Amino acid sequence: MKGSKGSLYDDLKRRILTMELDPDADLDEVALSERYGLSRTPVREIFRRLEGEGYIEIRANRGARVVPMNHSTLRQFFLVAPMVYAAIGRLAVQNFKPSQMSDLKDTQERFRAASKSGDALAMVVENNRFHEIIGEMSANAYLQPSLGRLLIDHARIGHTFFRPRNDDMRTRLKIAVEHHDGFISAIGAHDEDAVVDLVFEHWELSRENMEMFIAPQGMKADALVGDS
């Protein structure tokens, strides 16, 4: 597969967000160079860029790996995420540009179309981009990196949200689409309080789904025991 620096960068981000590449997975620099028709130098440049954005870690003498998830990082995620999202939302109301609003609306339409067609991969990517744009609207050099790091784990923990297995999950997905519409309206109306209210509603919806993924219902005690 011949590619480019751009396609390798985009593909690695997508594969990390959708859990196609597991947390802690090693990245084979040589294999990626061959697959994308790139020399080792541009591959290393992409690794450094992705490390700066929080997607991977580069370890001395051990190469690159997908950023891990563990008990400590998950605890920090659940403690901090709603505070960062709320602060980002308030600043987005204050600082957004018309071109960013246009991008947000376009991204929402792609997310809506993906939700209707059941395209889980597109939903993950477009949902992530939707919230990235709100971060860009905030124009805050301190919060944007934090948001970017949170969105990586948000996507990884909650990726099953976009593969609904029952009517309840499908209803939750529909509500998520409606929340996005609400964000667009509230930001456009310069209504900070409405944005923050939506942040917490949206977070609660996401949190419940993520908790279902992290702590699924247990199996019956005899589920793996065959008939005697």
pTM recorded for the entire structure? 0.84
Cα–Cα dist 221/87, whole Å:
45
pLDDT bucket at 216, cuts 50 / 70 / 90: low
pLDDT of 133-146, one tens digit each? 999 999 999 999 99
- What domains can you pick out in the chain, each with its CATH number? 5-66 (1.10.10.10), 71-214 (1.20.120.530)
Q: What's the CA gap between 125 and 32, in Å, rounded?
A: 22
Distance (Å, rounded) from C-alpha 35 to C-alpha 212?
A: 36
The model's pLDDT over 58-81, given as tens digits with 9 standing for 90+, comes to: 998 889 999 998 888 888 998 999
Closest residue by Cα to residue 116 from 94, 108, 41:
108
Q: Is the model's pLDDT at 212 over the cut of 70?
A: no
d(CA 9, CA 25): 16
Distance CA(111)–CA(177), nearest Å, equals 8
- Number of residues that make up the chain: 228
- Rounded mean pLDDT, 26-46: 94
Q: Which residues have C-beta within 8 Å of that of residue 165, sequence separation ≥ 6?
A: none
